[in-house]
Amino acid sequence: MENKNNLRVEIDNLKKSFGSVGALAGVSTKFETGKLNGVVGPEGAGKTTLFRLITGLLKIDSGEISFLRGSKRVEFTSVRSGIAYMPQTQSLYPDLSIREHLDFFKELYQISDEVYEKRTEELLHITRLKRFEDRSAGKLSGGMYKKLGLMCSMLQSPLLMLLDEPTNGVDPISRREFWELLYLLINQGILIVVSTAYMDEAERCGVVHVVSEGELVASGEPRALLQDEKARDFEEFFIKKTSGSAK
pLDDT digits (tens, 9 = 90+) for 172-208: 888 888 898 898 888 888 999 999 999 999 999 999 9
What is the mean pLDDT of the segment spanning 4-21?
A: 91
Can you give the pLDDT at residue 173?
86
In this prediction, residue 247 carries a pLDDT of: 40
State residue 176's pLDDT score: 87
Mean pLDDT for all residues in the chain: 91
Specify the pLDDT at position 189: 85
Output the CA torsion sign for 51, 88, 7, 238: positive
Mean pLDDT, range 223-247, rounded to an integer: 86
Tell me the pLDDT tens digit for each residue of 38-79. Answer: 999 999 999 999 999 999 999 999 999 999 998 899 999 999
Is the pLDDT assigned to residue 5 strictly greater than 80?
A: no
Mean per-residue pLDDT, 153-159 = 87
Which strand (E) or helix (H) includes residue 226?
helix 222-229
Cα-Cα-Cα-Cα dihedral sign, residues 201, 206, 212, 217: positive
Distance CA 14, CA 37 (A): 18
β-pairing, 215-220 vs 21-32, is unpaired
Whether pLDDT at 34 is above 50: yes
Q: Which of 13, 1, 9 is nearest to 68 (CA)?
A: 9
> Where does the pLDDT of residue 245 fall: very low under 50, low under 70, confident under 90, or very high at 90 and above?
very low
Strand partners, 27: 14
User: What pLDDT does residue 1 have?
Assistant: 41
Q: Is 213:49 a contact under the CB 8 Å cutoff?
A: no
Q: Quick one: pLDDT at residue 3?
A: 57
What is the fold of 7-90+159-243?
Rossmann fold (3.40.50)
